Amino acid sequence: AVARKHALVTGSTSGIGRGIATALAAARYDITLNGFGNPDDIAALHKELETFYGVKVRYSNADMSKPAEIKTMIEQAIADGGLDVLVNNAGVQHVSRVEDFADDAWDRVISINLSSAFHTSKHALPHFQAKGWGRIVNIASVHGHIGSTNKAAYVAAKHGIVGLTKVLALENANQGITANAICPGWVLTPLVKEQIEARAAKNGTTVEHETNALLGEKQPMLKFTTPEKIGATVVFLCSDAADTITGSSLTVDGGWTAQ
Ligand code: NAD
């Protein structure tokens, strides 16, 4: 039997990360889950992936804003069966105009959405290089290419991760390692639901009204991408068919950035 590859997905207890972990498990990768949430829900996801797909699942509660915890998480993943695929997905949002943007909110968004991918990659790369194989997939956003009001830290972090992806690709171009970014438009996850609920509260409208308004403002295709589809895109980027795709950022955005 061919040994299964091991994929670590940061922020995989919810939303897109959960969809990616599930797609990779379905494609027969062993999985390390990471992220916060209700311990019972996390245990249920852990068990679901193991029983449905028959792969080995681990969980790390490392905080992606803490470099020392990231280092330990990657070292443990490598020690426990080796690491093949690193998906940097954990992310948070904070919405405010720049002049009102809290300093600690800026630092939090930059550390979780950008710096964590530097730290995970730094510790995973020597292992990938020694093996001559590795895949890094960074979940950026349309906001890696364009701006929107009230999202200064998020837009800066996502532009940053698109740049980091290019350097990771160039430095490892002939070592069997690829690094790519995926840039989703709207995906209906808790991160986006919170923004919709905040808009409904602010404008005195319904969640349904604001859901349609949100899509209509920016995205020509009036439907959400699903976490499952982002998961399928990650599986593709890890496949042999994609082994010369590196340094790219792939938009999955219903035409948002085609305008
Ligand atoms: P989500 O809120 O559903 O999930 C975020 C995940 O990150 C959770 O598992 C959470 O526990 C984890 N997380 C948060 N802070 C963490 C920390 N300090 N350490 C470890 N884990 C932490 O959000 P989502 O919408 O699934 O977003 C996932 C990624 O996709 C983010 O990078 C986000 O920017 C990006 N993205 C989302 C959309 C969208 O429309 N939802 C669009 C483009 C890009």
Instruction: Give every strand in the sheet of 57-60, ordered side by side.
Output: 57-60, 30-34, 6-9, 85-88, 134-139, 177-184, 249-252
Q: Is the CB of 90 under 6 A from ligand 1?
A: yes
Q: Which of 55, 59, 228, 34 is nearest to 112 (CA)?
A: 34
Residue 90 has pLDDT above 90, yes or no: yes
pLDDT in tens, 167-212: 999 999 999 999 999 999 999 999 899 989 999 999 999 999 999 9
pLDDT of residue 3: 85
Helices 39-53 & 15-26, crossing angle to 10 degrees?
20
User: Is the predicted pLDDT of residue 2 greater than 80, yes or no?
Assistant: no
Give the residues across from 30 on adjacent strands: 6
Binning pLDDT at 50, 70 and 90, where does residue 81 land?
Answer: confident
Instruction: State ipTM.
Output: 0.99
Q: What is the pLDDT of residues 128-174, one digit of tens each?
A: 999 999 999 999 999 999 999 999 999 999 999 999 999 999 999 99
Return the structure tokens found at 219: 């995205």
Q: Which two tokens stand for residue 221?
A: 């295709």
Q: Can you give the pTM of this predicted structure?
A: 0.97
The answer, yes or no, to whether any atom of ligand 1 lies below 6 A from the CB of 225, is no
User: What residue spans in the chain does CATH classification 3.40.50.720 cover?
Assistant: 6-185+226-252
Residues pairing with 250 in the sheet:
182
Distance CA 82, CA 75 (A): 9
Q: Report which protein residue has its CA nearest ligand 1's atom 23.
A: 191
Distance 103 CA to ligand 1 centre (A): 20
Q: How far is CA 68 from the centre of its chain?
A: 20
- d(CA 155, CA 109) in angstroms, rounded, equals 10
Average pLDDT over residues 3-19: 97
* pLDDT score, position 117: 99
Ligand 1 within 6 A of CB of 254: no
CATH number for domain 6-185+226-252, candidates 3.40.50.720, 3.10.450.50, 3.50.50.60, 3.20.20.450: 3.40.50.720
Tell me, in angstroms, the distance from the centre of ligand 1 to residue 14's CA: 7
Contact between residue 230 and residue 19 where contact means Cβ atoms under 8 Å apart: yes
Closest ligand 1 atom to residue 112 Cα is 18
Catalytic residue list contains 29: no
| Res. 1 pLDDT band, cuts 50 70 90 | low
Amino acid at 38: N
Look up tokens 């390692």; give the residue: 177
Region 55-81: what's the mean pLDDT? 97
With a pLDDT cut of 70, the percent of the chain lying above it is 100
